[in-house]
Each structure stands twice: as C-alpha cells, then as structure tokens.
C-alpha cells in the first residue's frame, strides 16, 4: 500500500469532508492510487489478491488521520473482494480495463424489487447507507428473488450510469463517509452480474487465499481497522494535551493519579484491541478455517471495537471542557469511533450467540 499521499491529503481535507459529508474526488482518487480498490481484485484482472492483514493495517494507519477516509478505503477494498464472487464474465465487465475500480455496496438488508427475465433481472428500489457511493464506479445491492422455497437473497452489480444518489447522510460520526441513499429504477442486470448471498459462505478451492475463505470470517475487519487507528490517535491527542494542561490548583494535570490511570487503562485497552485484530487477521490469512475459527474472529472483531470505544470514551470524559469544542480532534475521533461500534457487524450479543454455539461442549476452548 502506498499511503503517504492519501494520509497527507486526508490531513488537509478532513474539515472539508466533514462539511461536505463525503470524500472529495481528489481523496477518492488518492485512495485508489494507494492500492485499496485493487487489493482483493483477482490477479487474473491485474489485482493484488492481497492479504487481510495488509489492508487492515493500512486502513488503521489512515484512520489515525481520518476515520472517514479509512472507512471508505477499507470498504472499497472489501467490496472488490465481494465482487470477485461474480461469474467470470461479470468480473471481466468490471475489471478487464483496470483493477482500480471503486465499488460501493448496500447489501444488508435486502431491499427493492426484482422481475426475473430470461437472461437476468429487472431491478428497482432504494438502498440506504452506501458508504463512499459518490466516488464509486459501481455498486453492489441486494434484493429478494423468487418465491416460496425458491426465494433467495441475491446481490447485483450495477454501474454508475444506472443509479442515482440522494444526499441523505447527516450523521454524528463518520460524517465524511458519504453513506448516502441509492435509487435504481428499472435497471436490467444480466445474470453475469449477480450472485446469491449464500455464495458468500462458500470456500473456493484452488484460488488465492483471500478468495477461499467464507465472508463471515473477515467481514467485520473492514470496520474495526478505522476505529483502531482513530483510537490510537485519540490517545496521542489526549496525552499531548494533558501533558501541558494545568489544574485549577496550579499543578500539572498529568501528575494527578486519575490522569495516570486514564492513560494506563486507555493505552492497555487500545493495545489489546490491536492484538485482537492482529490475531484475527492472522487466522484469516493463515489458519485452517473451521466454524470455531469463524466464531473466534467474529468475537475478536466485536471485542476489539468495544475496547476502542471504551478507551476513547474514557479519554473524552477525562479531557475536560476543551475537548467539547467543535474544532477538537479528540471529539471528532470520539464521534467516529462511537459510530463505528454501532455497526451491526460488531454487535457483541450476536458474536456471543455465534461463539457459544461452537464454544460450549468443545474440548480445548482457549482464551
């Protein structure tokens, strides 16, 4: 990954994208130039078929500057991996000319209406929360097809010319992600540009590692990495400001036992989150995939997100009234991390339900 240009531009654009509530075209191009869009594109189309560890570490690094930029970068990469589930001719249509294709997605929950035709589907509907869609060349959306026992949730790849974007993203956190609403009216989607949601659970034999693991094993990594980067920088922001703050009684703020405990606990939580994420990515890249491995990753992604949110919340509460200012970097990072951890993919209750199905009654369950 070539990160200096994207991090430098994100640093100078952060206020602009907060106001615009979307990435600038220049920043979207910088993300592409850094290698995110092509990271999981199959090598057949001159992509990287890269590792999960590399892209998550890159997203976390960008997240230290701007979580919104990191979020879109991670999702452009992840959606390239999703598009690799398309039939071969559909992949050709996306990537024959270049692997540097930005793809947005709105696949959960299914929405819209479909009419099955002889060689494809007629697709219409509205899909919400499509992060980075203003800068995307394609979008993946999901809708129900068929009826009764044949009813299936199916994912469709739709080019930019066939969808409209509505400016609906007015959020507290991750303001710059432009997670807007998409409208499609009567778009024909040929069979080569569709696959089923159930296909995401399959493990293909003989392909590159990133294309041979089930989606659930890795799905939440793209959300945790930006939060980890933002939490790391929040810790630096708080430490630097506290080091020069003076309390009302004239003593340095950093000499107070409470401040020392905040620093120690928050740093440990963020470090632990990084270890959890790193271990989960290592499993994704190298380990044998079993139902328990999948459950461990879902657990660790959710726990890492909780640790980041807890640490940044503690830093924010200890920062004093100055951190509440609209130009405070700490409050922006707090908003962004809070928004990340609200994502359904990081729900700890759901992670617990999955893990308990493989954990109870299993010999050798380890911490």
d(CA 353, CA 363): 18
User: CA-to-CA distance for 299 and 288, rounded, in angstroms?
Assistant: 17
pLDDT tens-digit readout, 6-17 = 999 999 999 999
Which pLDDT band holds residue 361 (cuts at 50, 70, 90)? low
pLDDT in tens, 30-80: 999 999 999 999 999 999 999 999 999 999 999 999 999 999 999 999 999
Whether 131 contacts 336, CB under 8 Å: no
CB atoms closer than 10 angstroms to residue 324? 12
Q: How far is Cα 157 from Cα 90, in angstroms, rounded to an integer?
A: 8
Secondary structure of residue 188 in the 3-state scheme? strand
CB atoms within 10 A of CB 185: 11
d(CA 256, CA 242): 10
pLDDT tens, 126-143?
999 999 999 999 999 999
Paired strand residues for 165: 182
Residue 231 CA to residue 249 CA, distance in Å, equals 30
What letter does residue 132 receive in the DSSP assignment?
T
Task: Report the alpha-carbon distance of residue 322 to residue 242 in Å, rounded.
Answer: 11
For residue 277, pLDDT over 80 is answered with: yes
State CA 312 to chain mean position distance: 19
């Amino acid at each position: 990954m070539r990160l200096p240009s994207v991090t430098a531009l994100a640093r100078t654009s952060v206020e602009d994208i907060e106001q615009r509530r979307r990435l600038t075209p220049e920043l979207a191009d910088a993300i592409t130039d850094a290698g995110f869009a092509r990271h999981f594109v199959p090598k057949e189309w001159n992509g990287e078929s890269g590792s999960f560890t590399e892209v998550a570490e890159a997203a976390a690094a960008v997240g230290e500057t701007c979580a919104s930029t990191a979020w879109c970068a991670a999702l452009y990469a992840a959606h390239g991996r999703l598009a690799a589930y398309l039939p071969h001719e559909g992949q050709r249509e996306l990537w024959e000319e270049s692997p540097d294709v930005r793809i947005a997605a709105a696949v959960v929950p299914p929405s819209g209406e479909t009419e099955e035709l002889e060689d494809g589907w007629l697709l219409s509907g509205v899909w919400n929360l499509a992060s980075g869609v203003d800068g995307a060349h394609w979008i993946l959306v999901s809708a129900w097809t068929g009826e009764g026992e044949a009813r299936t949730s199916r994912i469709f790849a739709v080019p930019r010319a066939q969808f409209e974007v509505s400016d609906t993203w007015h959020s507290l956190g991750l303001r710059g992600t432009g997670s807007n609403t998409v409208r499609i009216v009567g778009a024909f989607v040929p069979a080569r540009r569709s696959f089923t949601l159930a296909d995401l659970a399959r493990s293909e034999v003989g392909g590159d590692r990133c294309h041979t693991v089930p989606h659930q094993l890795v799905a939440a990594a793209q959300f945790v990495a930006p939060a980890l980067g933002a939490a790391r920088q929040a810790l630096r922001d708080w430490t630097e400001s506290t080091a020069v703050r003076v309390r009302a009684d004239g003593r340095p703020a950093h000499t107070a036992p409470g401040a020392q405990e905040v620093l120690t606990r928050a740093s440990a939580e963020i470090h632990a989150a990084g270890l959890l994420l790193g271990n989960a990515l290592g499993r994704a890249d190298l380990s044998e995939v079993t139902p328990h491995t999948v459950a461990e990753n879902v657990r660790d992604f959710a726990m890492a997100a909780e640790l980041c949110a807890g640490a940044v919340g503690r830093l924010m509460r200890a920062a004093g009234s100055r951190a509440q200012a609209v130009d405070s970097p700490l409050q922006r990072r707090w908003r962004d991390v809070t928004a990340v951890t609200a994502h359904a993919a990081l729900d700890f209750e759901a992670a617990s339900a999955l893990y308990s199905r493989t954990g109870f009654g299993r010999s050798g369950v380890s911490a």
